[in-house]
Structure 1
Amino acid sequence: MKRRAFITAAATAPAALAAPSIVSAQAQHNWKLVTSLPRGLPGPGVSAQRWADRVTAITEGAIKVDVFGAGELVAPFATQEAVESGTAEVYHGSGSWFSGRDTAHAFFTAAPFGLTFDEMHAWMYYGGGQELLDEFTAPRNLKVFIGGGSGVQTAGWFKKPINSLSDLQGLNFRAAGLYGEVLRKLGVNPTSIPPGDIFASLQAGTLDGAEWVGPSNDLAFGLPNVAGYMYAPSPVEIYGGIEFGIGLDAWNALTDGQRVMVEAVTEAEANRSSGDTLHAHLQAYEKLRAMPDLTIGTFPDDVWEAIITASREVIDEVKQTSDFHGRFVTAYYDYVRQATEYKRYYDTAFLIERQKFFS
């Protein structure tokens, strides 16, 4: 029995000795994720927590991610800078909210007459979009991934009807990124404020109108209670994307396998978040349609014509910023043009016939 015990101990000794060295070789990464959105906000707020939970789970705790909602650690629109400075390892927000630092960033989330969420995913994963995003964000010490899109958003909520282009003149309107730049050319006074301040600003009268996301998010924010006119679709908030930005120091400290895991979780979240938002929009739109005091419409023709002209001007201005901006914007709209032609024959034609099916 003693001999057998000795043999058993000898056989298990290498594993017992090896285990501590394996554990010690596995570095622990404690990440702080700062989101520009309120913690647990339906849709994008839930997405941030789901991403954090899945990264922690798939790495078996080797990467532990703690989420801080808007204002809990840094100001809502200071999340990107917090990662650049090392205050946090990951930010979660829309490139449109950070476009004041560089307008080009907005193209990865919301661009005039741009890519829908399925087209954006195709461009990012296979059409060269991720490589351009890496080139754009690496100088800021960031590794950025798209994290899902809301789909075509609401153009805006207004306190009075928009019957002509003149009705937009002088309005104080909450709009971020390129949408704000387009509306500015139409005589609107755009202002970019954090999402959590939209309702109070409309209620107080400091805003005459606002864009947020779409039916589910707009309803959750109570916008029908403070603005009786809803117009869709948006000409700019097409993908309506959210992104995850990781500090390059934190990213490079991971093993190759851990980077694959984080990337896989992020790609899965981009799909999951997009599906989650669309499903919620479908339910919320039915509730909005049933509201007797809410007017739902689309912009009149002269507004659309002015938006098209202004959008072309904004796009040209961004292209002239630098050689990279010219290269990037050209590549983006080459893909938009290709997708538009394809969908004209397939998606658009089908959607017209599908409406007839239900009429």
Structure 2
Amino acid sequence: MKRRTFMAGGAAGVAGAAVAAPAIAQTMPEVSWRCASSFPKSLDALYGPLDTMTKQIAEATDGRFKIQCFAAGEIVGAFQTLDAVSAGTIEMCQSPGYYFVGKDPVLALMADVPFIMNVRQRNAWLYQGGGQQLVNDYVKKYNVHTVPGGNTGTQMGGWFRKEVRTLEDLKGLKFRIAGLAGQVVAKLGVVPQQIPGGDTYSSLERGVIDAAEWVGPYDDEKLAFVRVAPYYYYPGFWEGAPTVHYWIGTEKWNALPKSYQQIFNNAAAANNLDMTAIYDARNPAALRRLVAAGAQLRAFSPEILDAAYKAANEIYDDLSKSNADFKRIYEHLRAFRNEEYLWWQVAEYSFDTMMLRLRQRS
């Protein structure tokens, strides 16, 4: 190559870089957000995916899109996160919608309510069944946009100081329980208590409450409930597939470049899958350890489950009569669930029951 040809090409390259640099800066601006979680850092399977997701977003944008994470109570309390985002105090939060059921029962539907569906069905509704679009159309009234970001899978029924064999045993029981589930068990005589996860053990230890539900073996072992309430009940009929959402201020979301929005969505979807995988992988060993430590596994009786199912449907009917938005989204969710279980009883349930039987021979 002749020297002047090389120099010309080099000059052109430098000029091209000079033109391209501002364009890149415009499409990849510096963005700095704060995110408040409703969970303590000690619960790594719940809080951890948030930390992982924000690191993925930073790496995918060469450090231009940074999200600083704060645990429950560091900026706002576990149940005040939505208010903080809605008011513009922070840019986003990580919380399940049923934490805000006192504000609006419709928000519980986006996370979980009793006797609905399992985790795969929930994700199918959100991602492919139109559920997430219904959710985001509704939450515009709170000046937020939401993205699914985690699911624990079916939870346990909680820790009890004494056995609860009949409906009579539930009367007057002070039970830490969140969401619409609190209203359901209240119809059975329970006195529901909404207490942040970090305060639940001390409340059990001091006798402020008689029972508490949290998530499942992996988290419950960390919170040491077995020391103060040995009876461990299942299933958590109120949380077959609780989704944790990321809630972002509408103006902040709309101001993001489309590429940043896509990076955020992809990272959140990966972490939605990862959270379920974490619990599925870690719960079995944790359950064995809890039983070895004295946990006494108990199944809720058919009497209790049937009464709770009846109570749940009465509540859904009452809310549907008084709240048109609840009725619209609940009926959409229920119809999707019913179709899913038509398929589940043919293949998924049949496969699982077959394997539960056959694995005993292995």
Do these two structures clear the TM 0.5 threshold for a shared fold by scoring above it? Answer: yes
Q: Equivalent residues in 2 for 1:277-316 (5 A)?
A: 277-291=279-293, 293-316=294-317
Q: Greater CA deviation, 203-212 or 74-83?
A: 74-83
Q: Give the aligned partner of residue 142 of structure 2.
A: 140
Match of residue 331 from structure 2: 330
For 1:290 and 1:334, how far apart are their aligned partners in 2?
42
Within 5 Å, which residues of 2 pair with 1:70-89?
A: 70-89=72-91
- The residue that corresponds to 1:318 in the other structure is 319
- In the TM superposition, what is the alpha-carbon distance from 1:245 to its structure 2 partner? 0.9
Query: Where in structure 2 are the equivalents of 1:130-209 lying within 5 Å?
Result: 130-209=132-211
Pairwise CA distance, 1:301: 2.2
**C-alpha distance in 1 between matches for 2:136 and 2:342:** 28
Counterpart of 2:121? 119
Match of 1:96 among 85, 98, 108: 98
**C-alpha displacement at 1:285, in angstroms?**
1.5
Q: Which amino acid aligns with 2:208?
A: T
Structure 1 pair 57–40 and aligned structure 2 pair: CA distance change class (3 A): farther
Which residue pairs with 2:13 in the alignment? 12
Q: Are 1:40 and 1:49, in contact at CA under 8 Å, matched by a contact in 2?
A: no
Which of the numbers 276, 293, 296 marks the counterpart of 2:278? 276
Which amino acid in 1 is paired with 2:69?
V
Whether the 8 Å contact between 1:34 and 1:90 is mirrored in structure 2 is yes
Instruction: Say whether the 8 Å CA contact 1:117–1:148 is kept in structure 2.
Output: no
Once the two structures are superposed, residues 197-223 of structure 1 have per-residue CA deviations (whole angstroms, 9 ceiling, x without a partner) of 000100111010001001111111111
Distance (Å, rounded) in 1 between the aligned partners of 2:100 and 2:58: 27
Name the amino acid aligned to 2:323: S
The partner residue of 1:251 within 253, 263, 272 is: 253
For 1:178 and 1:4, the matched residues in 2 are separated by: 74
Which amino acid is the alignment partner of residue 37 of structure 1? F
Distance 1:215 1:13, change over 3 A: same
| TM-score normalised according to structure 2 size | 0.95
CA distance in 2, matches of 1:64, 1:276: 25
Residue 11 of structure 1 and its aligned partner are, at CA, apart by: 2.1
RMSD: 1.7
- 1:346 and 2:336 aligned: no
Provide the C-alpha distance between the structure 2 equivalents of 1:340 and 1:213, rounded to a whole number of angstroms: 24
User: How many angstroms does 1:288 deviate by?
Assistant: 2.2
CA distance in 1, matches of 2:160, 2:314: 25
Give 2:304's aligned amino acid.
V
Q: Against the structure 1 CA distance between its residues 321 and 147, is the aligned structure 2 distance closer, same or farther, given a 3 Å change threshold? A: farther
Mapped to 2, the partners of 1:216 and 1:320 lie a distance apart of: 39
CA contact (8 A) 2:106 2:325 kept: no
Deviations 1:2-28 (A, max 9, x none): 957853553233124214422441321
Q: State TM-score, norm by structure 1.
A: 0.95
Identity of counterpart residues, as a percentage?
Answer: 29
- In structure 1, list runs of 5 or more residues that go unmatched: none
Tell me the alpha carbon deviations over residues 50-100 of structure 1, each in whole angstroms, 9 at most, x when there is no partner: 111111111222211110111111112111111111111110011111111
